[in-house]
A = this chain, B = another copy of it.
Amino acid sequence: MRISVLGFGTVGRGVYEMICKAKGMEVRKVLVLPAECSESFMVTSIDEITSDKETDVVVECMGGIHPAYEFASSCLKAGKSFVTSNKALVAEYGIELEALAKEKDVSFLFSAACGGAIPVLHNISVASQTDRILRCGGILNGTTNFILTNMQDNGKDYKEALAEAQRLGYAEADPTADVSGMDTMRKVMLLSSVSFSSLPVENLCCEGIENFTKDIADYVKERGLSVRLMGFCGKTAEGIYAYVEPVVVSSSAVEASISSNINFAWYEGENSGFIGLMGQGAGRYPTASAVLRDLSAVMEGKKSMIGPDCVRIKADNGICMNSYLLCIDGVFSAIENISVTDMHKKAKELREKGSKVFFAQYKK
């Protein structure tokens, strides 16, 4: 199988190296910036790849939505299978790209876009053929997990922990997408699209970690508890929910053992029960290993992870009732049995009145 790669950054280089070593695979061309064009296999225009009759599959590791979407479309239209590690692209245009792939009878896979090396989308995709997926979620963002565990285990304050994450390359100069929970939310959207053929795009509830403080870390630690940022989605008779929020877990819970930049994803099948998966959620070779698994699946004829019937939906987070730890201007309290929608709305209202608010679900 002959593969061209879009992007030659952290993941792209790893993918390139792994393809060179893989049985039955070879690299055709790599799309790079003009300044990087130093090898004969490197090209600087997407046309050189879409028009290359010997490219069977294109791997995209550029990130960002544009021009990734335009490139994906033109590759699929040219009849090439498309494998991507780009969660923003799939969350925004996955349905359109799947339709194009189906039209051209080629593959569209994106395992590496959720959980890095952790084969969670792959396993949900396989399991859902013979089992019914009830819910899924997890600790899906290594940056925020690093910040949270660094604050709780090492007594750092938020600024110090974030700065250290940036120094180590775990957080970007602008960390908003991570700390706001948006990155986790996009992964939840992909989990839902693969699990339920439903891409939730409206009425999402997304709370990040920007309001977590050293005082809150001390408070939960004194009680033998620990905070993690988690995403959740599930399908019930009443609808589909999809939300992201901090969660308080006991020190004996699996989630409490997920430290630093490790990810933990899980799903629950009607028959299989709870299946948890942990591993590196990012990094050159871990992410490349997930891309290579997809390439191997393309070789075996796997076409898609989301069904052709996948549709955009409104989430209904009013159907989920949780209990929460709440901290308003430094005062701690608990709220029992409130819907996710109402909790997120309440926090927003309090903030509009000028209060500093942190809340975290008490894990059932």
Interface residues in chain A, defined as those with a beta carbon under 8 Å from any beta carbon in chain B: 14, 18, 22-23, 25, 117-119, 122-123, 126-127, 129-131, 251-254, 256-259, 269-280, 283, 285-286, 288-290, 292-293, 295-297, 300-302
Contact A289 B269 (CB under 8 A): yes
Output the least CB separation between A133 and chain B (Å): 11
Residues of B within 8 A of A251 (CB): 251-252
The DSSP consensus for interface residues of chain A is: mixed
Output the least CB separation between A237 and chain B (Å): 18
Identical copies of this chain, number: 2
A-B contact pairs, 15 of them (CB 8 A): A117-B275, A119-B123, A122-B126, A127-B289, A131-B289, A253-B257, A254-B254, A254-B258, A270-B285, A272-B279, A272-B289, A272-B290, A274-B279, A276-B276, A300-B302
Output the least CB separation between A127 and chain B (Å): 6
Give bound CA distance, A14 to B275, whole Å: 18
Contact A272 B285 (CB under 8 A): yes
Residues of B within 8 A of A126 (CB): 119, 122, 293, 296-297
A252: contacting residue among B118, B257, B271, CB under 8 A:
B257
Known: A123-B119, A129-B23. A273 touches B253 (CB 8 A): no
Output the least CB separation between A3 and chain B (Å): 12
